[in-house]
Amino acid sequence: MSTMVDDPRLLQEQPGLAGFFTGLRRRVSQGELGVLPVVVGLLVICVIFQIANNNFLSARNLTNLVLQIAATGTIAVGVVLVLLLGEIDLSVGEVSGLCAAVMAVLNVNAGWPGPLAIAAGVLTGVGVGAVQGLWVTRFRVPSFVVTLAGLLAWQGLRLKVLGGTGTVNLTDATITDLANRFLPNWAGWLVGLLCVAAYLGNLAISRRRRMAAGLRTPSWGAFGGQIAIVVIAVLGAVAILNADRGVPLAVLFFLGFIVVFDLILRLTRFGRHTFAVGGNAEAARRAGISVDGIRLSVFILASALAACGGILAASRLLAVNQSSGGGDVLLNAIAAAVIGGTSLFGGRGSVWAALLGALVIGAISNGMDLLALASSVKFMITGGVLLLAVTIDAVSRRGREAAGRA
């Protein structure tokens, strides 16, 4: 006999605030926290640093903050793709430095035009990703070992490419404008409105599809609240950036990568296969999915995005040197992906995690720089935040498994 639970209309949340809090309690109990911990954590970080230094939320500092996270966030987009497979890439930092070095040497020493030098840098990343991906898929060597070896090898190759001087200063306008050009105010507002319109269209389509399939959908109150939050966040960000120098071009590149790969993961066969392989590689293979092909493609994309991130970093600093891509680049890229909500166990996550995680990591780093705290303190705090994010992921996974058994 049919029960009330069989009615798909009852799978929608209750209307109003009661439905919102009911849904929130259900998601928490089942380990479906989503981006809530990240958003709350980011708000807490902003409040703490603003109290400690009232320049933290100034337009000038927030513009510097988004410029600082653009390169790391771009690298983190590639890390998200790899983590979705349940794999790891420890070489992305050194790959970013190597590709930036190739671009700089070709442009400055060999006289290549800026666009060609940039393309060569990105293609270098593609080649590196192909080598590492083939090693993982053909020889069945764990990605941890392959990319750890790559971390050492690509660092040595970067030093070889840079030569004895060790530093190459960039002057080509095509390269330097990537991270040092700002949109006029009207263009910034136009970009913001287009982002809001695209989000509203995507949200409406998603809601209609879920309702047609009889799946649980948020109440209209929660739906309207979600829209209001996004509109305020986007237009508020544009207003703050316009109050300083305008919307940085580097941020548009970063957001462009996020939007493109989000669409790829959600709407294409490649995206569905990526989640399937990350969720259960053996089941994906039996379903006819080319598991090795997906893994190879993801490692190529991750290295190509690392190259793009390295080029953005070089553009912002106007130079490439022996430390490019080293230091805490790898740590911050992986931390951004994980803190943003991508599961280390594979099969769960979104490329938007790169944005949220990069904002958290960038805000912590920027705030501690304003307070002139020692690097040792910065590393300890960043490590603690990363451990907390992984713990939340593990607890959420247990909650989902318990809900599934129930």
pLDDT band, very low/low/confident/very high, at 164 (cuts 50, 70, 90): confident
Q: Is residue 5 part of a domain?
A: no
What is the average pLDDT across 12-23?
Answer: 52
What is the average pLDDT across 378-402?
Answer: 76
Gap between the Cα atoms of 342 and 84, Å rounded? 7
Q: What is the DSSP letter of 321?
A: E
* CATH for 349: 1.10.3470
Locus of tokens 């992305």: 92
pLDDT in tens, 302-340: 999 999 999 999 999 999 999 999 888 998 999 899 888
What pLDDT score was predicted for residue 9? 39
Extract long-range pairs of 20-24: CB within 8 Å, 24+ residues apart: 20/219, 20/221, 20/222, 20/225, 23/218, 23/219, 23/222
pTM of the model: 0.89
Rounded to the nearest 5 percent, the helix, strand and coil shares of the chain are 75, 0, 20
Phi first, then psi: what are they for 403, rounded to 5°? -65, -35
Gap between the Cα atoms of 387 and 323, Å rounded? 26
pLDDT in tens, 235-288: 999 999 999 999 999 999 999 999 999 999 988 999 999 999 999 999 999 999
Those residues with Cβ within 8 angstroms of residue 144's Cβ, 6 or more apart along the chain or in another chain: 88, 90
What pLDDT score was predicted for residue 296? 97
pLDDT band, very low/low/confident/very high, at 400 (cuts 50, 70, 90): low
Which residue segment(s) compose the domain that 44 sits in?
34-181+248-390
Q: Is residue 17 part of a domain?
A: no
Mean pLDDT of the chain: 87
Q: Is residue 331 part of a domain?
A: yes
pLDDT in tens, 182-195: 999 999 999 999 88
Q: Is residue 43 part of a domain?
A: yes
The percent of residues above 70 in pLDDT, for the chain, comes to 87
Task: Please check whether residue 168 is in contact with residue 101, taking contact to mean a CB–CB distance below 8 angstroms.
Answer: yes
pLDDT in tens, 29-71: 554 556 777 888 889 999 999 999 999 999 999 999 999 999 9
Q: Is residue 276 part of a domain?
A: yes
Is residue 403 pLDDT above 80, yes or no?
Answer: no
pLDDT in tens, 217-228: 766 666 677 788
Q: Is residue 316 part of a domain?
A: yes
CB atoms within 10 A of CB 380: 11
Number of independent structural domains in the chain: 1
Is residue 17 pLDDT above 60, yes or no?
Answer: no
